[in-house]
Structure 1
Amino acid sequence: MVSVLGLLEAKESAAREVIERLCDEADRILAELVEAEGSLERLVIARETVAEVLNGPAVAAKEAAVKDVDEAPAGVMVVPRRREGLSVRVLPEEYQRVMAVVGARDGVRARDLTVALGREAVPAKIECVRSMAKRLVARGWAVEETPGVFTPAAGSRGPAAAG
């Protein structure tokens, strides 16, 4: 006769395996996303460089200014690299919300950040928010000095911050 506890332990083990498999898949997809973003960034730089060489720096600068507004495909949130004089207001609205929460605390974990954004604290939503926070880290808007704890980068606190 099989015990109820034994059945529950077997189901728990199976659920853990599913979670581990899905986490591995999410990590793989995130790595592919980072690679694709890097490739896109290199292509944009190459196009801008060629435009500058062919048309001169004035035309390339004008094209770059227009590109920031018009070039993003519909539905894609473009997170620019942080640089001197750039305000968090250039970030897509959802990333501005993430930065507002990160800036209001002394380090925040993805789960707490998810809840603060008004989302349900389920693994899929937490991973989505973690991915956003890591993208902000990769682009220089936030830092992750302690693994899993996000803080704003120096000079990027608040919606009016520049730097």
Structure 2
Amino acid sequence: MASVMGLLEERETAARVRVEELRAEADRVLAELGEAEAVLERRVIARGELAEALAAPGMVIEEPVVDPRDTTSKAPAAKGGAPVAGSIVPRRREGATAEALAPDYRRIVELLEAELHVGGAGLMAKELTARLGLELVPAKIEGVRSKAKRLVERDWLTLTPSGRFMPRASVPDAAS
């Protein structure tokens, strides 16, 4: 019987050694996985930051440059200084309309004005992003948040303490 017990003890010892080896291997793999996930996260953040930086002047990245030889694209600008993608957001003045804004900013203001007319209490950046038909990824959401905050800084929108963006009350409408 001692030999059978000895065999069982040897097998148990071998199983313990194997378990310890696998635990060490699992720890190594988990550590490597953690490092790889950290690298991935940094790369995703960097890509998001780059996309936001490139999209900051206007949401349309594909057409930021206007060809000076193209007379069709110059016609609206010559007609009244119509904004183009990439133009600076002007400060809101009395009587100014959303037409003074670049198309991407105008869409945000018009969307929020429409939301207010149906009794809405403003929209969060994520809700704005969804209503604009953009993909709900951090880079797009932060790009829209950045644009909306720029509109707040230029007096086109207001930001509630809860983080909701709302259109600013129009001065001429209040007077009439």
User: TM-score when scaled to structure 2?
Assistant: 0.52
Give the corresponding residue for 2:170. Answer: 155
Distance in 1 separating the partners of 2:174 and 2:101: 12
Give the corresponding residue for 2:96. Answer: 86
For residues 1-163 of structure 1, what are the structure 2 equivalents within 5 Å?
1-2=25-26, 7-19=32-44, 69-70=80-81, 75-103=85-113, 104=115, 105-146=120-161, 148-155=163-170
Higher-Rg member (1/2): 2
How big is each residue's C-alpha offset from its partner over 1:56-77, in whole Å with a ceiling of 9 and x where there is no partner?
A: xxxxxxxxxx9994497x6432
User: TM-score when scaled to structure 1?
Assistant: 0.56
Q: 1:71 to 1:97 in 2, by over 3 A?
A: closer
Q: Greater CA deviation, 131-140 or 141-150? A: 141-150
Residue type at the aligned position of 1:117 = L
Residue type at the aligned position of 1:126 = I
How big is each residue's C-alpha offset from its partner over 1:61-116, in whole Å with a ceiling of 9 and x where there is no partner?
A: xxxxx9994497x6432322112211222222222210122230312121221111
The structural deviation recorded for 1:21 is 5.7
Structure 2: gaps (5+ residues): 1-24, 58-76
Residue type at the aligned position of 1:93 = P
The structural deviation recorded for 1:10 is 3.6
SS of 1:154's partner is coil
* RMSD over equivalenced CA pairs, Å: 3.7
Distance in 2 separating the partners of 1:120 and 1:162: 37
Distance in 2 separating the partners of 1:150 and 1:21: 26
Structure 1: gaps (5+ residues): 34-65
Aligned length: 124
Q: 1:26 to 1:125 in 2, by over 3 A?
A: closer
Please tell me whether the aligned partners of residues 91 and 155 of structure 2 are also in contact (alpha carbons under 8 angstroms). Answer: yes
The structural deviation recorded for 1:118 is 0.8
Q: Identity over aligned residues, as a percent?
A: 36
Distance in 1 separating the partners of 2:90 and 2:32: 51
